[in-house]
Every structure is written in C-alpha cells, then in structure tokens.
Structure 1
Amino acid sequence: MLSSYDAILLVSFGGPERAEDVMPFLRNVAQGRNIPEARLQEVAEHYYHFGGRSPINDHCRALKKALEDELSRRGYRLPVYWGNRNWHPFLKDVIDEMVRNGVRRALAVVTSVFGSYSSCRRYLEDLTKAREACGAATLEIDRLRLPFNHPGFVAAMTDRVQEAREAAKNAGFASVRLVFTAHSIPMAMAAGAPYVTQFEEASRLVAEAAGFTTWQLAYQSRSGPPHVPWLEPDILDVLRSMAKTERDGAVLVAPIGFLSDHVEVLYDLDVEAAALARELGIGFFRAGTVGTHPAFVAGLCEMIEERLNGRPERRAIGRLPACADVCPVDCCPPS
C-alpha cells in the first residue's frame, strides 16, 4: 500500500540504562536551564533506586516493534525509527541514519499525551535542530497529532483503571476515590497551552467509560524552583487531604498523562505516594499506563492512517476536537 510518507519516527524523552549514565543524562536534560547540581543529584537518587536504569527505552523498543507489526498487518510497509531528545539513540544520529537510508518524508510520533511547550513544541524544536545539525535539508518531518481523545487511547486507559479497581475490590475495598495525574508544568506555560483542558477531557472520558461518577485531577513530579507557580494540587497533598475524611478508604491513582511506567511514575507514585498513603492509613492502588496496550497501538496506527493517502477521517470522541496536525506559530510558547 502506497503512502505519502517513507517512514515513521518515534520520538521520546530518553533515559539512562545503567548507573554511570544517570548524571550525564540528567545534565543533558538540564542543559541551558540553570538547575543546581544538588537538584540533579537529588533526582539521580530516584534513578539509582532502580539500579540506574529507566524503563522508558525498553518501552520505546516495545512500542516501535508493536507499531511495525500493526502497520504491517494493515498493509503498510513503513520502517519505524526511534530517537530520543536526551539520551541514546539521539535524534541527530537517527535522522542521519534516515537520510543515509533515503528517507525523504517521515511522520513523527511524539510520546506525549497533552499539548504544552515541554510535551510537544520542544520536541518539534529539537527535531528541527537535529535536522539542521546533520544537514538533512531533504528530509521533511511532520508530527502526528497527540492522542488524548482518540478512542484507542481512551479504551486502553479505561482498561488500566478497571484492572486497578478490580485489584482494590479483591483487597476488600468496595469503593475507591479515582484520581488522575499528569506531570505538573509551570502555570505560565499552561496558560498558553491546551494542556489542562486536554487533561480534564481525557480524564472525564476514561472515568465515565470505567463507570465512575466522581473523580479528581492532581499533578505530580514538579521540578521547578519553589517561587515559580506550578499546576496544583500535588498528588501528595491530595492524599493528605483525603486522610482527613477517608482514613480507612482507598485511592486509585491513574497516571493518564504518561504513556509508559518510567521513573517519574515508578518513583513519584509507586514509591513516594504509596509510602505516604501507608503512613496515612489509605489503601493505595495504581493503574498502569497504556504502554503497548493493543487498543492504544491500534489507535496510533489509525491516526497514522489519517495522514496517509486515502484515509482522511479524524477519529476523536468527547467535547474537544482532535489536536491540529500542524501547530499554529504561536502555539504553546515556553513559560
């Protein structure tokens, strides 16, 4: 089946795979951001807690393979490349490989759910810098829209929530409070982006599909200086508030703003939040991320087909339109 693209490029954040990679990786992340060394060392301990290896690269390998298989099943012969912003394989090296292989036009799948400068526009800027660094003037790269309200993403996340609710039920909790989380970002950044509205809409779609009549939004993984306002409430504050009225209850935390169980999910939720919940006497259950759930992979491929020849439909559900295929020039400015 012919298409208007030569390849798919999976674009991710990147992560270390051994302890000696942790600090070089974090310095790449912090480049140009004036983050104190002490803060980097603090974050490094989160990675060392898991042996210095982030699961994010393994997730990308699995997602790359799943996309290749599903696209092939649908009749598309498109190679899937994978490049990271902050660690190997770096975008520049992968784009250089694509050029050597004769790729002229690629569609980038960014591993983000909601739109903001850090979760979308920064990736586009890094793609441009990588193309310029290796002189890839002949390579055109478009971005696939973000999946926050695609039926495949919603179905996959609904499954994860229902699995966690079943675990809570088996543990003796008849009901749980459902709390969705996303990565906190500076409020100034959020003001110019659809991040919060997309977070709200995706959470509503999943909660209703899973049979919940009430739910709550919270944020996690804040990393900025204390004097800069970031999105709130933090998940730890939500747990403390819950303990005042529901000390014998349980919470089901669904990290809907993350596509994979990487270190920020594993440490900030499974270690820190779970420990606080135990201390407060609250049952704690965490829904998985979508990962390579078949419905999510199929949904990504449906969105890819939207951009290929002969498949113009844009499947989306809920109250918000699908993300734009091409961002406006003033979309999602940095804070």
Structure 2
Amino acid sequence: MGGPRNLNEVNGYLKGIFGDRDIMQLPMQDVLGPFIANRRTKKVQDEYEQIGGRSPIELWTKAQGSKMVKILDSISPSTGPHKYYIGFRYNEPNTNSAVKEMLQDGVTRAIAFSQYFQYSCSTTGSNLNELYRETKSLDSQGKIKWSVIDRWGTNADLVQVFANNIEKSLEKLDGSTKDTAPILFSAHSLPLYVVLRGDPYPAEVAATVGLVMQELRRRGVRNPYRLIWQSEVGPLKWLGPSTEHVIKTINKSSGGRIDSVVLVPIAFGSDHIETLYELGIEYRDLALSSGIKNYVLCPPPNDDDLLAKGMAELVKEHMENTGHLDNQIYMQCPGCESKQCRITKDWIASQASA
C-alpha cells in the first residue's frame, strides 16, 4: 500500500484506502469514503508525528530491493543485470510511475513481486488490478511481458527470519516468564464479508504462523501462541479476535497469571504505522494499563539479510520455472462477484501463455 512521505500526504493516502472497493465496500462509497478519510486525517497525522512524521516503508523497501538485486545478480547472472521498481498502491512511487519508468528503461520482462507475504483480494488483489489498469493504459502494445509472485508466506527463509526475531524477543523477558509468555501473532484484519466469500488470507496467515511455531518448537521453544487481528476501521464487522481486545483482557481472563506477552506482526514485511504506532505505542500503553507488566514487540523482517537472500532465490526459481510456481493466482474466491478480478486473472494467464 505504501505510506505517506509527509503529513500533507495523509489525507490523500486515506482517501485512496477508503475509496478502494477491493479493500472494503461501503454504501455510497464515493461520498462515505472521503468522509471517513477526512474525519480520520488529523488523528492519523498525530500518530505519524509520534513515529517521525512519515511512513518509513519506502526507505525499507528500497533497502531490501537493493540487497535482493545484488544477490540476484550474483546467483543468476545470465538473466541480469536486474533492477527493481517500487509500485505502491496509494502514494508515490506508485504503479503508474513504476510502469512509466520501466517503459522508459526499455524493460521487456518483469515480475510483479507482491510484498504482502500472504494473498488477499484486498491487498495483492487490489495491487494487481491496478497493475492491469496501468499497463493497459500505458503499455497498450504489450511491450512488457509480466509474471507474478503473488504469495510467499511459507518461504523457508521468511520463516527463519520470524523465528530468529521471536527468539531474540523472548530473551528480553525474565527467566520466570520467558518460557510461558504467550506469543501473540498479530495480522491486519479483514472485513468479515471478505472472509465469508472465501478470501484465502486468514488461512495463509495461519500457515505462516504454523511454520514459524514448528521451527520454534524444533528449537525447543514451548511458549503458547495465538493468532489475533488488528487495525479494523469503519462501520463494518471485522475478523477477530481483535488484538486490542486480547491485550485488554488476557491478564484478567487468566486470573492474573499472564502478565507478559510477545507481539509479532506476522503479516507485515516492514515497520510502518501499524507496527510502530498501533502495536508499539497505543497497544503498549493499553497492555500496561491492563495488567501486562512485560510487553515485548518483535520487529518485522524489515531489511534482514536472510530475507533478501530468500527473496532473490524465490525470484530465481520463478524465472527458471518460466513464471509458473503454482496456479493459485488464477482461482477466484468462491463467492467473488468482482468482474475486475476475473479480467485481471485472465490478463495474468494471457501473459503466461504469450
């Protein structure tokens, strides 16, 4: 999705999110979307001020992209030199800017590499819909041939990075709680109607959690764990249990036995407002006021070297298999009614057969 580079970009960024029907479908969305965005702007600006006045996601993405390309050039020199482009959904550098730059550079082969680990129609799906629209507008002759890495939440190096970061986070707890504190995996929630139509995101997040815990168990970590959901906004019903509710009640519901927790942002690749402010400030304060004495926030992968290696190897494998790792991308949700979704998937299929 990207993130605002300064406080003046917050309103436009929010309008992009609340106006995107791939993320949420609101009544009279052309009116209600901007209304919600305008009402939330000052609050969100204040939150960004507390984390430095901007989203750090562009900086992290550039750092990781540079590392990945350097590794890719070394392990797959015959397909290089390689270059990465950033195409955020709601702010610059956006998809339009990326495609324009690629055409100017004479690119003829490109991989749309989603930086969402787990697939959702609301995230990767929305970005791919936008990629389709921009390529049809800017590259009507089809100069660039595309393939897609649309999900990679079970990548072995990604699992290792999460397990490493969690182990380091557990070490910050004292001896009496280090082996018993719950590991709370927090992921961005979805509107419930999106889940009920068959969106694969909850299952794919759970798959990542399962593999990370399997690796931690192999290392001797025996802490209990739960998958919880954060960042719901607006009038819709969202997938739960919410991170806010769990943090608020876990100490009391356990009779005071649980006073330490480790929060893991399992679906976020890099730090941004949902990790730095929501988990790092807002929920930390809530935890301390709810009987949690030790609240440890595990960092997301950010620009971890092992993750860059995993990304480069994933791209190399993708190219060696001529863009066919699996056929998940072609399946719509069982309850999908989106014409654009089908159009985009058919376009991706046509790229594969070109």
Settle same-fold status: TM greater than 0.5: yes
Deviation digits for residues 292-324 of structure 1, max 9, x if unmatched? Answer: 22222222222212221368996xxxxxxxx64
Say yes or no: does 1:124 pair with 2:128.
Answer: yes
Matches within 5 A, 1:149-228: 149-169=154-174, 173=178, 175-191=180-196, 192-210=198-216, 211-212=221-222, 214-225=224-235, 228=236
Which of 298, 306, 316 is the equivalent residue of 2:317?
306
Partner Cα separation in structure 1 for residue 83 and residue 6 of structure 2: 28
When normalised by structure 2's length, the TM-score is: 0.81
**Match in the other structure for 2:331:** 328
**Match in the other structure for 1:234:** 242
The structural deviation recorded for 1:288 is 0.9
Unaligned runs of 5+ in 1: 1-12, 315-322
**Match in the other structure for 1:281:** 291
The question of whether the paired residues in 1 share the 8 Å contact of 2:261 and 2:295 is answered with yes
Matches within 5 A, 1:21-170: 21-31=9-19, 33=29, 34-35=32-33, 36=36, 37-76=38-77, 77=80, 78-138=82-142, 139-169=144-174
When normalised by structure 1's length, the TM-score is: 0.86
Unaligned runs of 5+ in 2: 21-28, 339-354
**Match in the other structure for 1:290:** 301
**Match in the other structure for 2:279:** 269
Q: Sequence identity, in percent?
A: 24
**Match in the other structure for 1:319:** none
**Match in the other structure for 1:5:** none
Deviation digits for residues 255-278 of structure 1, max 9, x if unmatched? Answer: 101111111111110011100111
What is the RMSD of the two structures over their aligned residues, measured on CA atoms?
Answer: 2.4
SS for the counterpart of 1:80 is coil
SS for the counterpart of 1:216 is strand
Residue identity matched to 2:215: A
**Match in the other structure for 2:4:** 16
SS for the counterpart of 1:278 is helix
Partner Cα separation in structure 2 for residue 88 and residue 255 of structure 1: 24
Equivalenced residue count is 313
Residue identity matched to 1:71: L
Partner Cα separation in structure 2 for residue 217 and residue 248 of structure 1: 16
The structural deviation recorded for 1:80 is 1.3
Partner Cα separation in structure 2 for residue 115 and residue 313 of structure 1: 16
Partner Cα separation in structure 2 for residue 132 and residue 204 of structure 1: 39
